[in-house]
């Protein structure tokens, strides 16, 4: 018989207690997995959304640590377009608006001549008419607001006609309302301002030439130029996202530590109940190290079982949250291996640590003393 | 010629409750190979305490315990001795209820050796020797008191120790099982030329030993060898 068989047999003696402890750890790991996926999902959703629309480069203001506070003068579009190697420039403004139903919708404003209008995948209806107070809704927003082409929705306390519904593939675009830049600037009191520019380079240029164009832009204007990968990295340092990520990580750590304390209490109780048995093991020649290994192994078994169940809960919770319109509209809520690995790598050693104290208590007694316990 | 002592207690004192209770008072005694010794005396006279100190389950407050002439004091040394040289059987069998008879015996071999086939053969052999080969897959709850004590004896002997301590090994058994377990213990002692030290209240069991050590108030008051046994 191996030590692990004995450890498993000990855990089966009190199945309800073992299962409850595993559930405690599983919930902690599940919470951590879901929260870490949330923190990362926001930044990835933004860069995926831009990529889907064929954006190559994003030009934004330098030194901004709050993505919602990005501002550039709309007139800078002309300066950008004049730079050698730039094929087209589109200005965009974005803002969040409350809807009549008390939900929040990401609204973006595009210039009338932007190529994005022509490539927008329409599921129903048509593009907004020039000059009209009209809006395109992503399919998830349309579903959330129960709106179809031809309906009227309320954004920024004003009514807009839904001209059509788009069928983008990424959560950001599916959860976005699109109106003309002018209407959004007016509604948000940001006349002449945009959040960023999307830039497309001349076709057929190689990587070295693309880098040269980026350098020319950076030299000519007080802006930062990013491709989609760089954008995701830069968004990591966004103040709001950083705060959200820090809160997620703190809650994850608290959840996992609580899971480990739960394990500690279970093993303490188990060791206390088995004091005489541990005395017997010492009497038949088990060393202190063997007894410690047994109890730590029991802790590790619970920790591993809790981790496996926790990962399943975390993935399931992420899918569930992703299906809630107010969350799934904006965030790609799918845990990556890193989101799963981090809590597990934290929880499993913590389980061993949680078992170490009961193990130490188990071996500090003389065997005769342990055998006398009632 | 007298065998050299395997285990020797010298000037051993053991107190409890801040010296208010004297369990052992200046006890000096030696146990030799191929010798059966009964520790007898009234309840609370220190028999079990002497056994515990001799097996390293308890620590003397004063005095020393020697194994083959070498003083043993650390927990690790005692664990090594119990793993290889000393077997212990208790009145209460202390079997793990969720493990089979065979697995309970195997407990004593975890970490002892890496040769699994040799270990398995030893477990089979000792289970066969104590008459439990057919019941090796039974859980303790499915065994009679006598069978459980046989499992405990097998667990104590699977490592082929030189000394077997038995603390009231028949105390929880009916008369038929008492006789069977006692017969088994003495047969095994003779076969293996072990040192057997029995704590017992049973005069009949004590009478089967080659030596009787009588205790009173933590002291040895009589140490009698019979049929040529060492005193």
Tokens of B89: 């059987």
Q: For residue B29, give the nearest of B226, B159, B215 by alpha carbon.
A: B215
pLDDT value of residue B229 = 43
Amino acid B49: pLDDT: 94
For A275, name the nearest residue in chain B, comparing CA atoms only. Answer: B94
Interface confidence, given as ipTM, is 0.89
Q: What is the DSSP letter of B222?
A: E
Q: Does the CB of B73 have a partner CB in chain A at under 8 Å? A: no
Å from A9 to nearest chain B CA?
Answer: 6
Mutation to test the A interface, candidates B96, B149, B166, most A Cβ within 10 Å? B96
A218-239 pLDDT, tens digit per residue, is 899 988 888 877 776 777 677 7
Instruction: State the pLDDT confidence band at B230, using cuts at 50, 70 and 90.
Output: very low
CB contact under 8 Å between A284 and B84, yes or no, is no
Q: Which neighbouring-strand residues pair with A152? A: A161
- pLDDT tier for residue B89 given thresholds of 50, 70 and 90: very high
For chain A, say whether B155 makes contact (Cβ under 8 Å): yes
Which residues of chain A approach chain B closer than 8 Å at the C-beta? Answer: 1-3, 5-6, 9-10, 12-13, 276-277, 279-288, 290, 366-369, 371
pLDDT of residue B231: 37
Residue A269 to chain B, least CA–CA distance (Å):
17
- CA of A367, closest CA in chain B: separation in Å? 5
pLDDT of B116 over the 70 cut: no
| Cα(A229)–Cα(A46) distance, integer angstroms | 11
Report the gap between the CA of A259 and the closest CA in chain B (Å).
27
The closest CB to that of B57, out of A286, A287, A367, belongs to A367
Does A285 contact B79 at a Cβ distance shorter than 8 Å?
yes
Reference B61, options B70, B44, B71, B73; nearest CA is B73
Give the separation between CA A241 and CA A66, rounded to whole angstroms. Answer: 8
Which secondary-structure segment (H or E) carries A105? strand A104-110
Does the distance separating the beta carbons of A13 and B97 come in below 8 Å? yes
Mean pLDDT over residues A37-47, rounded?
74
- Between strands A223-226 and A57-61, the pairing is antiparallel
Please count the residue pairs, one from chain A and one from chain B, whose beta carbons lie less than 8 angstroms apart. Answer: 83
The answer to whether B79 contacts A6, with C-beta atoms less than 8 Å apart, is no
Report the alpha-carbon distance of residue B7 to residue B195 in Å, rounded.
9
Query: What value does the mean pLDDT take over residues A186-204?
Result: 90
């Amino acid at each position: 018989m191996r030590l692990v068989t004995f450890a498993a047999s000990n855990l089966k003696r009190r199945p309800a207690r073992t299962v409850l402890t595993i559930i405690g750890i599983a919930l902690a790991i599940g919470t951590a997995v879901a929260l870490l996926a949330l923190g990362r999902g926001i930044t990835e959703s933004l860069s995926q959304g831009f990529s889907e629309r064929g954006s190559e480069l994003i030009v934004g203001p330098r030194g901004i640590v709050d993505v919602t506070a990005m501002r550039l003068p709309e007139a800078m579009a002309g300066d950008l377009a004049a730079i050698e190697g730039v094929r087209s420039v589109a200005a965009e403004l974005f803002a969040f608006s409350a809807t009549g139903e008390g939900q929040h919708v990401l609204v973006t404003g595009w210039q009338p001549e932007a190529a994005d209008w022509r490539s927008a995948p329409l599921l129903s209806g048509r593009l907004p008419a020039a000059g009209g107070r009209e809006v395109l809704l992503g399919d998830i927003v349309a579903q959330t607001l129960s709106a179809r082409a031809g309906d009227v929705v309320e954004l920024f306390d004003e009514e807009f006609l839904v001209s059509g519904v788009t069928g983008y593939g990424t959560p950001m675009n599916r959860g976005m309302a699109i109106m003309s830049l002018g209407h959004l600037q007016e509604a948000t009191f940001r006349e002449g301002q945009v959040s960023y520019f999307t830039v497309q380079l001349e076709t057929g240029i190689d990587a070295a030439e693309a880098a040269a164009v980026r350098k020319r832009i950076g030299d000519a204007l007080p802006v930062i130029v990013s491709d989609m990968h760089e954008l995701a990295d830069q968004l990591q340092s966004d103040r709001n996202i950083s705060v959200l990520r820090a809160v997620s990580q703190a809650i994850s750590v608290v959840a996992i530590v609580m899971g480990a304390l739960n394990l500690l209490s279970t093993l303490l109780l188990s060791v206390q109940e088995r004091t005489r048995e541990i005395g017997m093991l010492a009497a038949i020649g088990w060393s202190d190290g063997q007894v410690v290994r047994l109890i730590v192994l029991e802790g590790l078994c619970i920790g591993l079982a809790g981790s496996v169940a926790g990962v399943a809960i975390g993935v399931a919770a992420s899918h569930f949250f992703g299906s809630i319109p107010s969350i799934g509209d904006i965030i790609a809520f799918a845990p990556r291996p890193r989101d799963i690995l981090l809590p597990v790598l934290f929880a499993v050693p913590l389980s061993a640590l949680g078992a170490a104290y009961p193990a130490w208590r188990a071996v500090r007694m003389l065997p005769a003393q342990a055998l006398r316990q009632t | 010629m007298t065998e050299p002592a395997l285990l020797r207690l010298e000037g051993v004192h053991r107190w409890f409750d801040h010296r208010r209770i004297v369990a052992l008072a200046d006890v000096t005694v030696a146990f030799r190979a191929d010798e059966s010794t009964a520790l007898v005396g009234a309840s609370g006279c220190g028999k079990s305490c002497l056994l515990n100190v001799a097996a390293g389950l308890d620590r003397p407050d004063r005095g020393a315990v020697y194994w083959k002439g070498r003083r043993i004091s650390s927990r690790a040394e005692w664990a090594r001795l119990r793993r290889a040289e000393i077997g212990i059987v208790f009145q209460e069998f202390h079997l793990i209820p969720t493990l089979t008879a065979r697995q309970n015996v195997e407990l004593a071999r975890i970490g002892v050796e890496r040769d699994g086939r040799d270990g398995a053969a030893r477990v089979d052999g000792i289970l066969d020797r104590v008459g439990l080969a057919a019941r090796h897959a039974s859980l303790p709850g499915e065994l009679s008191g006598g069978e459980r004590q046989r499992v405990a004896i097998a667990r104590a002997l699977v490592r082929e120790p030189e000394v077997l301590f038995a603390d009231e090994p028949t105390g929880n058994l009916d008369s038929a099982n008492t006789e069977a377990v006692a017969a088994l213990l003495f047969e095994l002692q003779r076969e293996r030329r072990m040192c057997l030290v029995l704590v017992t209240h049973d005069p009949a069991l004590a009478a089967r030993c080659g030596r009787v050590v009588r205790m009173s108030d933590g002291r040895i008051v009589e140490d009698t060898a019979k049929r040529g046994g060492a005193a």
